[in-house]
Amino acid sequence: MDTNKEYNSLLISKIRIKRLELGLTQSHLANKIGISPITFSHIESGRREIKVFEVVKLCKYLNIKIDEVLEICYNKIKISHNSEITSNKKLKNKVISFTSFKGGMGVSTLSIILANEISKDYKLLFIDSHYQNSCYDKRALDLEVFPNIKPLYSIASIETKELAKYIDQKKKDYDYIIIDLPRFFYIPDYIEEITNQSDFVISPFKGRGMLKKPFKNNKDYLKHIAEGRLDLFIEYRNLFKNNDTVFSLIPFLVKIEDDEFDDYCSDQEIVLIPETFKEFPEHDLFCDTLNPISNLENAYYNPFIVETLKVIFHLKSLVGADLIMEDLKHKSNAKWQKILDKS
| pLDDT of res. 203 | 96
| pLDDT of res. 331 | 52
CATH topology of domain 94-324: Rossmann fold (3.40.50)
Query: How much of the chain exceeds pLDDT 70, in percent?
Result: 76
Mean pLDDT in residue range 225-243: 89
Question: What does pLDDT average to over the chain?
Answer: 81
The listed range with the strongest mean pLDDT (12-26, 147-161, 201-215) is 147-161
> pLDDT (tens digit, 9 = 90+) per residue, 73-115?
545 444 444 444 344 458 899 999 999 999 889 999 999 999 9
pLDDT at 31 over 60: yes
Give 236 or 16, the one with higher predicted confidence.
236
Q: 115-118 — which CB contacts under 8 Å span 24+ positions?
A: 115/153, 115/178, 115/289, 116/152, 116/289, 116/290, 116/291, 116/292, 116/293, 117/292, 117/293, 117/294, 117/312, 117/316, 118/175, 118/176, 118/178, 118/316, 118/319, 118/321
Can you identify the CATH homologous superfamily of domain 3-82? lambda repressor-like DNA-binding domains (1.10.260.40)
What are the extents of the domains in the chain? 3-82, 94-324
pLDDT at 343 over 90: no
What pTM, to 2 d.p., does this model score?
0.69
